[in-house]
Amino acid sequence: MDPLLFAFALAFCTATLALDNGLMRTPPMGWLAWERFRCDIDCKHDPSNCISERLFRDMADRLAEDGWRELGYIYINIDDCWSSMQRDKQGRLQADPDRFPSGIPELARYIHDRGLKLGIYGDLGTHTCGGYPGTTLDTVAVDAQTFADWGVDMLKLDGCYSNDTVQQKGYPLMSKALNATGRPIGYSCSWPAYQGGLPPNVNYTQLGEICNLWRNYDDIEDSWDSVLGIVDWFSTNQDLLQPAAGPGQWNDPDMLIIGNFGLSLEQSRSQMALWAIMAAPLFMSNDLRTLSNEARAILQNKVLIGINQDPLGIQGNRLLKEKSGVEVFWRPLSESASTLVFFSRRTDMPYHYKNTLWKLGYLPGNYKVYDVFTGRTMPELTHQTYFTASINPSGVVMWLLSPTVHRVQTQEGANPSLLHNHVEEIARPILL
């Protein structure tokens, strides 16, 4: 199917098939502890960085006071290593009493009081990846109810120490159990990452019906290699992954590591731009207390966040890989807009990339172009104008485009019954 029809079909399907909890109609945003703080439980020697209620309160304060919440970063998510090694007498999970002396319900109140939401972590298996009590098939219902009773708003369910059979039963079972609590709880499934991430092992139709987001691939690490590996995997498999995404159901390439130790400034911009193309959830895993101004500017770029959060929720893709090492990514947005990302994998010097919008598949017309990182509106382009983008090594140039002359063309051979009223709203590289 060509990209245009594909987008229409997607717009139709997702509305009816998405998990019906009303949540995450745009990719969820917030902060998640794992990549930056891992399983640091040594509160004696590292009190401000260990997995404890203090860490999550600190981050909630930062989200609420430093302008993050207003931009949409509202989830504060606990990952592994929060619980006690034992369930309580009633068989419920309980927080580690030394590191969470006030308990999770009190932490949830603290977070809700600041206009934020709390996410928690569980693992469908005998143990979590870090060796804490897991959620077995017979404890799915009680764990869902415990989280709901505590005021939890999101659950990431990992898949260590289980097998295919348990996962096949358990992930849909938890979806039902969360629903049965009556509390809207966003549901992040690690299931596909444990099944290789691709059909036929992974059924993305089913995932869209039971989860709001899912981890398809490896954990991100604090390095550029890790980011590149993720981008390559998602791009190579984009034809299988793209149709799975839409309002309420998202592919999750994992956390933003911007502000940590592994990425240069250019690479940080690249991660943010490519995550926006992928309609990825934006969970930062960094230290908001010590973030540099440069990292903050990237993570708080309003136009870029707006692109990530576009209401149509259509995941973008890689249009082409040039011999020069430049890759061009594209995502259609609402109101005929679209975004282009020119990404350089070169390692020598800024590269002057020359092309026309026509050759990238855009329809004839005039286009307004806004450069997302410089904040400058550029001279208007026609589809035939040769433009030059200067892209730094391992960096990006990111454009937001909108046609100034509105043209609707019915594509030859297109099935008119598929031409929904969104037809005018979807910008369209029709690949030539």
Q: How far is CA 21 from the centre of its chain?
A: 18
209-248 footprint of ligand NAG as x/- string (CB under 6 A) = x---------------------------------------
In whole angstroms, how close is the CB of 18 to ligand NAG at the nearest point?
A: 10
Out of 131, 151, 184, 325, the only residue in the binding site for ligand NAG (CB under 6 A) is 184
In whole angstroms, how close is the CB of 196 to ligand NAG at the nearest point?
A: 15
Out of 168, 206, 235, 385, the only residue in the binding site for ligand NAG (CB under 6 A) is 206
First and final CA of the chain: distance in angstroms? 14
List the catalytic residue out of 158, 252, 254, 310: 158
DSSP string, 68-121: HHHHT--EEE--SS-B-SS--TTS---B-TTT-TT-HHHHHHHHHHTT-EEEEE
Closer to ligand NAG by Cβ: residue 179 or 356: 179
DSSP strand pairing (351-355 vs 387-391): antiparallel
Site for ligand NAG in 8-27 (CB under 6 A): 20-22
User: Residue 131 and residue 110: Cα distance in Å, rounded?
Assistant: 28
Distances (CA, A) of 169 to 124, 180, 284: 10, 17, 31
User: Cβ-count burial of 327 within 10 angstroms (0-12 exposed, 13-18 middle, 19+ buried)?
Assistant: buried
Residue pointed to by tokens 């969970």: 283
Binding region for ligand NAG (CB under 6 A) out of 66-74, 83-91, 181-189, 317-325: 181-189
DSSP strand pairing (75-77 vs 29-32): parallel
Closer to ligand NAG by Cβ: residue 108 or 369: 108
DSSP string, 325-350: SEEEEEEE-STT-EEEEEEE--SSS-
Applying CB under 6 A, the site for ligand NAG has a residue count of 14
Taken in order 124, 127, 132, 135, the sign of the CA dihedral is positive
Site for ligand NAG in 145-174 (CB under 6 A): 163, 165-166
Closer to ligand NAG by Cβ: residue 76 or 166: 166
Binding region for ligand NAG (CB under 6 A) out of 62-70, 182-190, 213-221, 350-358: 182-190
Q: Which of 87, 107, 83, 77 lies closest to 95 in space, CA to CA?
A: 83
Q: Is residue 158 among the annotated active site residues?
A: yes
User: Residue 138 and residue 36: Cα distance in Å, rounded?
Assistant: 32
In whole angstroms, how close is the CB of 129 to ligand NAG at the nearest point?
A: 16
The reply to whether 201 sits near ligand NAG by the rule CB under 6 A is no
Q: Is residue 123 among the annotated active site residues?
A: no
Binding region for ligand NAG (CB under 6 A) out of 80-88, 180-188, 226-234, 335-343: 180-188
Residues taking part in catalysis: 158, 219
Which residues of the shown chain bind ligand NAG in the complex (CB under 6 A)? 20-22, 163, 165-166, 179, 182-184, 203, 205-206, 209
